[in-house]
Structure 1
């Protein structure tokens, strides 16, 4: 028997879905923290729904003709919808047929959004006869990447579902989805694994300092794995050195060095650091950066709590526009100087 691709911490969630039996909803919304394997879960669910001879427990057999098509991203009754940028970054061989509809501007940078043409392309797919199982499956992720026209177009499909069509939406942030989309999906939360299970998996992958990376990524094992292998490790270390000892000159130098990075990543690092300062000030607990306890303790004693809360709010607002700053350098300078001002170092 071939091993299924789910992670050990996903077994309970899988059994809960299997317990639905014939009461399968027309639209799932799998949601939870980033870096826990939600898309792996979603695609295995899709494959299993299309499988001609599923195992006991509902897992795809990995051996039938349907599973063969699925493995090659060529199943005629399956569509995967995601931002063009993701297809550009990691599309495996044979996936070109699943790429989003091309725009008229071939030279345009790959989109970070799911656009309306991708949703419109599903209409023809849903209105043709199925090939094998009598069921169509559409996996869409991340759902928060839907732009407004695409979200409205998808809503029409969810409001008037085609027979034997199952949507599986995946989201890291369901608070960014339209309430009307939320109301038409069966919401299914996938949570963080227990720390012991996550650490065991990371150790099996050969990750050194697994506890450090797991904490830094908020308990998400796949995110910890990626960060442990990332070229961003040196950038993160340098950024934390600045956060530990803020000041005007270092704010400007750090902004200059990091201006070519993805701004949402940098803002996210700062948000986690601020969370730990606030948490330590409130309860003496640290979630993301336990090895920097002394630095966080010192900073928490220096900062005024209302000012810290306001800056946390400001950073949340910055994160909303971080993907499209007019000037990355000015964006960083403004944010880091404001951070330094919290501690009277400018």
Structure 2
């Protein structure tokens, strides 16, 4: 089911399941539970109980059982595929590693699904998450289907960065913006999961509860704290050594760059507006750095961090990316003259 902070969004989406458009686009920050809401909506549409009150899936009919088992014949989930990896270091066949893209082959495989009659005399539902993971070819192929949607076919797109989607795709969807949850319900949920220091984790994740829980993983937390401690004490920061360590830890480069981007955001926020969002537990360190830096130089550096984040999943040398960003950081926080 969806998360408790999405009650209002659920009521809006489920007000009349029979009058939904052929394509929905759920947008918002990563880690707030958009996909769970989309899956609940798909399950409700495929529920065969016939109970329309509250529009919630019953969880007992055949349709719900098949959906929960992951094999409902009228539902498809499109997520980044798995690329074939080469041989591993020991000469054996390497395991498949997750790809960051949804490919045109995945979209083409939808053709038979969306153009034939449903198996259960209802809708055929396709969930695409995250939609911005479609490569250009895949996005163009989907656009053709959205322009002439088959009868009773519904597409639900979930996106963390909807402005990266083709404008023509966005224009053919009804967009629902999902806000970051209020702090109280998010903290209550995290504490119910047994997470200690939930407020700090939630702040580090920008208010996104699922991201906060994921980043509370011990290894990730240790790696993040180590990097932030070095950023907070730039005289002790050695870009080459730090980049080598981060590369050796096999971290997701997007996550590492996000940690850096949040730190830079707080430096700028405290310097320009006396506000701190992501690292309130490091306020003193942020304040000491922010008091003497050049805001214009920092904002230029923030642009380069955003560019690096957009390219984080391209086949680049992660170590070199880290080195460039860390050397750039030291230049960006040089005291203003």
Relative to the length of structure 1, the TM-score reads: 0.89
Task: Give 2:159's match in structure 1, choosing from 147, 167, 171.
Answer: 171
Shift in Å, 1:273: 0.4
1:274 paired with 2:270, answer no
> How far 1:192 moved relative to its partner?
1.1
Q: Is 1:69 matched with 2:66?
A: yes
19, 32, 44: which one pairs with 2:15?
19
Matched, 1:9 2:5: yes
Task: State the 1:109 CA deviation.
Answer: 4.6
Which segments of 5 or more consecutive residues in structure 2 lack a partner in the other structure? 84-93
- Indicate the residue corresponding to 1:103 in structure 2: none
8 A contact 1:251–1:336 mirrored in 2 = yes
Contact 2:100–2:313 (Cα < 8 Å) also in 1: no
**Distance in structure 1 (CA, Å) of the matches to 2:172 and 2:199:** 39
CA contact under 8 A between 2:81 and 2:103: conserved in structure 1? no
Q: Secondary structure at the match of 1:168?
A: strand
- 1:138–1:166 contact (8 Å) kept in structure 2: yes
* Alignment partners' CA distance in 1, 2:167 and 2:48: 35
Q: 2:322 aligns with which of 316, 332, 336?
A: 332
Task: Specify which of 184, 196, 205 is matched with residue 217 of structure 1.
Answer: 205
Aligned to 1:92: none
Q: By how many angstroms is 1:266 displaced?
A: 1.1
Offset, 1:21: 4.5
Cα offsets for 1:85-135 (capped at 9, x unmatched): 49xxxxxxxxxxxxxxxxxxx987542200001000100111222121421
Decide whether the 8 Å contact of 1:325 with 1:331 is kept in 2. Answer: no
Mapped to 2, the partners of 1:156 and 1:138 lie a distance apart of 15
- In structure 2, C-alpha distance between the alignment counterparts of 1:49 and 1:21, rounded to whole Å: 7
- Residue 74 of structure 1: how far off its partner (Å): 1.1
| Alpha carbons 1:35, 1:223 under 8 Å: kept | yes
Residues 201-227 of structure 1, C-alpha deviations (whole Å, 9 max, x = no match)? 111111100000000000011111111
SS in structure 2 of the partner of residue 231 of structure 1: helix
Contiguous gaps of at least 5 residues in structure 1: 87-105
Cα distance, 1:248 vs structure 2: 7.6
Output the CA distance in 2 between the equivalents of 1:20 and 1:84: 33
The answer to which of 252-261 and 108-117 deviates more is 108-117
> 1:23: Cα distance to partner?
2.2
Instruction: Answer yes or no: is the 8 Å Cα contact 1:248–1:337 preserved in 2.
Output: no
Secondary structure of 1:57 counterpart: helix
Deviations 1:308-339 (A, max 9, x none): 01000111111122222532222111110110
The 3-state SS of whatever aligns with 2:109 is helix
Tell me the distance in 2 between the aligned counterparts of 1:77 and 1:326: 39
Please say if residues 143 and 169 of structure 1, whose CA atoms lie closer than 8 Å, have aligned partners that are also in contact: yes
Pick from 35, 41, 53: which aligns with 2:31? 35
Per the alignment, do residues 218 and 110 of structure 1 end up closer, same or farther by CA in structure 2, a change over 3 Å counting? closer
- Structure 2 residue matching 1:187: 3-state secondary structure: strand
Q: How does 1:1-346 map to 2 (within 5 A)?
A: 5-53=1-49, 54=51, 56-85=53-82, 109-247=97-235, 250-259=238-247, 260-324=250-314, 326-344=316-334
Counterpart-to-counterpart distance in 2, 1:276 and 1:187:
30
- TM-score by structure 2 length? 0.91
Q: Helix, strand or coil for the counterpart of 2:119?
A: coil
CA distance in 1, matches of 2:189, 2:97: 36
CA distance in 2: counterparts of 1:79 and 1:175, whole angstroms? 24
1:283, CA displacement in angstroms?
A: 1.5
Q: CA deviation at 1:55?
A: 5.2
Cα separation, partners in 2 of 1:247 and 1:131, compared to 1, 3 Å: same
CA RMSD between the two structures: 1.9
Deviation at 1:71, TM superposition (A): 1.1
Residue 199 of structure 1 contacts residue 211 of structure 1 at CA under 8 Å; is this kept in 2? yes
Hey, what's the Cα distance between the residues in 2 that align with 1:152 and 1:336? 37
117-126 or 327-336, which deviates more? 327-336
